[in-house]
């Protein structure tokens, strides 16, 4: 892909005056050559200028090295430079008037910062006025990293133009400068306003950590935007820069296109999205190393083998010495692949691919859902129905109303329709439940949990309640109801994360699946939300729903309906007792004191446990119930539901009361006695 794009650009260049104008390039004086090269750069060919400005560092003069790099030794039209094909592509795009955005994601040590530094110095050298703003997660990071790199390569220029380096700014006038500019992350990014000029440029270093509002405000007056980062995120504006590449097709095909290099339509002109895997770097591609020590997998040099960590003699080391001194080499690349603990780390830091999931921030992992879908297929969808979850939309052309039907045994079916009338919604729900599942919701024995956010659900839920239905009002912004100790900021965070725990094979439900139908949109919605610490690291919060809508291009109604269904299951089967008995507390972040509070417990809670307290035995953690209600559920064997829950709790914890022996799972099948009817 790199070569194809470069060949296209070169063909375009050959059609103008550039080649002819360079015939007498070296027949003029040094200053005139530099000035002429600046004009060539302004019209789309910056490589002669690079050769003049950094002749000792970047120009290849040895014919033997010509085979490893683009260009021709001694050719002023197309000089052979110590840069990779992807770097040539980025530098050329920086001077292409049709390209407004350039995004770079790469492996560790690919050279994104170096490339950006060369581009920034070239733009500053060629254009006046030219306003270049460098920003990052923090002012210190921006000044010490990317701006520091810019300063280093500025000092190495043979013929730098006007400009003085003062603190974190390089420039000579108010309209011709390179500066570090980091607006407050809590503000609206207005520091980027009022910078209109013929060439206003923004560099976002470690862009995945920069607030989106800064990128949005930069778009208002930018001529070009450069965004560079490691691809360690599953969401955010930097990730969104690459999403137009996905197109149509299977999930694997979309992921492959998103992790390739190509152009797409951007917010200001064309956008070049660059992916730089390790094998796109010269040192890795040609098996080069920085130190005279064999890499961890060994190396063969002209037929002579050197084992891992074996010293390589100088005469042989010269044959495998790094082509690009500061770039990742073969040893570093192999070390990332062989020593990374998680597969996503290899994909990110070695192959520059966006992770398909983030175990740290993602609420529900896609890899945890596969066994539940497979179990649904194995059962051929035969799941008992005793509960319902509803997300209401009042529209005949937009979002769908979603009804999920299921039980503690899993999710049986998803029903979707469009309507803008509350009463028709009510009739549809009652008829569906009775015709499909033989359940009359007006009996009040089978719960339906309804999302009351936005007001649409309230109109349907209140009417159903008037008809005698058991309606559970789900208020996403309300208080948590199961974990009342403060572990979750609100009910939405609580129930999404409880559902995530239900799917997690390493949590208290262990290997017992909760099957649901295979549905790509549903899975995409379930795996989309991310969590982050709140209240000083003592509680979890989930990203706003509007952010998810923007990322998906639709409202996550199916996922919301499944959350409501799970809330109804909890209510009917009183599963909060199981959770309370077998909860696994965790510390999100250290508290201000040296005695961190375990997440989910307040100081005034009698069940508080500090991080350094001994863990109590299951018997000590027994949750005392006083006169628990006995509720019988149609379709389940004739036992009080409390007995079933007790059996299930024993199964999960792996012990019988007064015994260390594991017990069989309880009978939670929803057959009639003869096992034939559902």
What does the domain layout of the chain look like in residue ranges?
Answer: 2-279, 281-349, 366-581
What would the pLDDT profile of 580-612 be if each residue is shown by its tens digit?
655 544 434 333 333 333 333 333 333 223 333
CATH for 366-581 (3.40.50.300, 3.30.420.240, 3.30.460.80, 3.90.1710.10): 3.30.420.240
What class does CATH assign to 2-279?
A: alpha beta
Helix (H/G/I), strand (E/B), else coil: 374: helix
Rounded Cα distance, 309 and 530, in Å: 42
* pLDDT in the model for residue 552: 87
Average pLDDT over residues 226-238: 89
pTM for the whole structure: 0.68
Whether pLDDT at 538 is above 90: no
Whether pLDDT at 654 is above 70: no
Using CA atoms, how far residue 447 sits from 74, 307, 391, 513, 672, in Å, is 80, 67, 14, 22, 21
Using CA atoms, how far residue 105 sits from 113, 263, 352, 551, in Å, is 11, 14, 6, 19
Question: Which position has the token pair 């979707």?
Answer: 416
Whether pLDDT at 629 is above 50: no
H or E, element range at 53: helix 47-53
Rounded Cα distance, 282 and 329, in Å: 8
Query: Could you give phi then psi for residue 127, rounded to 5 degrees?
Result: -110, 140
355 band by pLDDT with thresholds 50, 70 and 90: confident
What would the pLDDT profile of 483-499 be if each residue is shown by its tens digit?
767 789 999 999 999 99
Among residues of the chain, what percentage have pLDDT more than 90? 59
Residue 290 near residue 329, CB atoms below 8 Å? yes
Closest by CA position to 58, among listed 39, 45, 42, 73: 73
Average pLDDT over residues 442-451: 95
What would the pLDDT profile of 15-54 be if each residue is shown by its tens digit?
443 444 444 444 457 788 999 999 999 999 999 999 999 9
């Amino acid at each position: 892909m790199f070569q194809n794009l470069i060949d296209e650009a070169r063909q375009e260049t050959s059609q103008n005056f550039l080649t002819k104008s360079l015939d007498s390039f070296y027949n003029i004086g040094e200053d005139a050559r530099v000035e002429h090269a600046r004009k060539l750069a302004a019209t789309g060919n910056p490589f002669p200028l690079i050769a003049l400005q950094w002749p000792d560092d970047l120009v290849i003069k040895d014919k033997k090295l010509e085979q490893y790099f683009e260009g021709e030794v001694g050719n002023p039209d197309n000089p052979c430079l110590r840069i990779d094909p992807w770097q040539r592509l980025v530098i050329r795009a920086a001077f292409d008037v049709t390209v407004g955005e350039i995004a770079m994601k790469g492996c560790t040590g690919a050279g994104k910062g170096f490339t950006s530094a060369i581009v920034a110095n070239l733009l500053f050298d060629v254009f006046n006025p030219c306003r270049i703003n460098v920003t990052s997660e923090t002012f210190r990071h921006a000044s010490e990293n990317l701006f520091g790199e810019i300063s280093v390569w500025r000092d190495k220029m043979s013929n730098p133009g006007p400009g003085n380096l003062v603190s974190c700014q390089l420039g000579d006038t108010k309209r011709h400068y390179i500066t570090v500019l980091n607006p407050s992350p809590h503000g609206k990014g207005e520091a980027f306003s009022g910078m209109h000029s013929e060439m206003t440029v923004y560099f976002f270093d470690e862009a995945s950590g920069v607030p989106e509002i800064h990128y949005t405000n930069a778009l208002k007056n930018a001529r070009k935007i450069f965004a560079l980062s490691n691809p360690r995120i599953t969401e955010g504006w930097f990730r969104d820069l690459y999403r137009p590449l996905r197109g149509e097709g299977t999930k694997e095909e979309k992921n492959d296109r998103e992790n390739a290099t190509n152009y797409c339509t951007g917010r200001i002109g064309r956008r070049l999205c660059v992916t730089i895997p390790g094998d796109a770097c010269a040192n890795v591609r040609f098996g080069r190393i920085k130190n005279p020590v064999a890499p961890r997998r060994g190396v063969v040099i002209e037929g002579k083998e050197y084992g891992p960590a074996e010293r390589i003699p100088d005469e042989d080391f010269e044959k495998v010495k790094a082509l690009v001194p500061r770039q990742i080499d073969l040893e570093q690349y192999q070390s990332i692949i062989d020593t990374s603990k998680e597969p996503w780390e290899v994909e990110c830091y070695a192959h520059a691919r966006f992770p398909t999931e983030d175990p740290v921030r993602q609420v529900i992992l896609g890899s945890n859902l596969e066994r539940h879908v497979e179990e649904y297929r194995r059962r051929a969808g035969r799941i008992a129905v005793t509960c319902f979850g509803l997300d209401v939309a009042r529209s005949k052309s937009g979002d769908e109303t979603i009804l999920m039907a299921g039980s503690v045994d899993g999710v049986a079916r998803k029903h979707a329709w469009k309507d803008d009338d509350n009463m028709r919604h009510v009739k549809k729900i009652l008829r569906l439940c009775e015709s499909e599942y033989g359940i009359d919701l007006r009996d009040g024995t089978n719960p339906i949990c309804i999302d009351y956010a936005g007001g649409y659900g309230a109109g349907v839920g209140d009417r159903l309640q008037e008809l005698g239905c058991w309606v559970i009002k789900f208020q996403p912004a309300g208080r948590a109801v199961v974990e009342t100790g403060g572990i979750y900021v609100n009910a939405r965070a609580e129930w999404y994360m409880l559902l995530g725990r239900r799917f997690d094979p390493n949590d208290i439900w262990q290997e017992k699946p909760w099957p649901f139908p295979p549905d790509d949109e549903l899975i995409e919605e379930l795996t989309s939300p991310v969590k982050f610490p709140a209240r000083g690291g003592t509680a979890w919060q989930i990203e706003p729903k509007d952010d998810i809508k923007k990322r998906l291009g639709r409202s996550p109604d199916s996922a919301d309906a499944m959350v409501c269904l799970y809330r109804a299951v909890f209510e009917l089967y009183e599963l909060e007792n199981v959770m309370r008995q077998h909860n696994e507390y965790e510390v999100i972040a250290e508290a201000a004191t040296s005695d961190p509070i375990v997440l989910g417990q307040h100081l005034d809670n009698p069940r508080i446990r500090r991080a350094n307290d001994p863990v109590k035995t299951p018997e000590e953690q027994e949750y005392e119930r006083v006169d628990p209600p006995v509720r019988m559920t149609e379709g389940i064997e004739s036992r009080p539901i409390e007995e079933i829950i007790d059996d299930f709790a024993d199964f999960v914890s792996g012990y019988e009361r007064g015994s260390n022996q594991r017990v069989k799972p309880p009978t939670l099948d929803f057959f009639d006695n003869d096992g034939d009817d559902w």
